[in-house]
C-alpha cells in the first residue's frame, strides 16, 4: 500500500508521473549495464597489458582507465 499524507487522504495524481518513473527506471538499468561493461573492458585491458608487457605510459593520456597510472590525491 502506498504511503498516505499526514491528513490520511490520497496523494493527488501528477500528470506524466508514471511515464517519468518508467523512463528513470530504464535509465538506471542502462547505467548499471554501462558500469558493468566498463569494468569488464578495463579488466580485459589490464590482462592484455600484462600479457604483452605494455607499460601504461605507452598508452598515452587518452587510454582507458585501466591503462593509466592511478593519480594520488594530495592531502
d(Cα 36, Cα 28) in Å, to the nearest integer? 12
* Ranges 1-10, 18-27, 64-73: which has the least confidence: 64-73
Q: Evaluate if residue 50 carries a pLDDT over 80.
A: yes
Q: Grade residue 4 by pLDDT with cuts at 50, 70 and 90.
A: low
Q: Evaluate if residue 11 carries a pLDDT over 80.
A: no
pLDDT of residue 6: 76
CA distances from 6 to 1, 14, 17 (A): 15, 18, 21
**Per the confidence metrics, is the pTM higher than 0.75?**
no
d(Cα 38, Cα 44) in Å, to the nearest integer? 10
Amino acid at each position: 500500500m502506498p504511503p498516505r499524507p499526514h491528513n490520511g487522504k490520497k496523494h493527488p495524481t501528477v500528470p506524466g508521473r508514471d511515464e517519468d518513473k518508467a523512463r528513470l527506471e530504464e535509465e538506471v538499468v542502462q547505467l548499471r549495464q554501462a558500469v558493468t561493461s566498463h569494468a569488464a573492458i578495463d579488466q580485459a585491458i589490464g590482462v592484455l597489458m600484462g600479457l604483452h608487457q605494455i607499460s601504461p605510459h605507452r598508452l598515452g593520456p587518452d587510454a582507458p582507465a585501466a591503462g593509466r597510472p592511478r593519480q594520488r590525491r594530495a592531502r
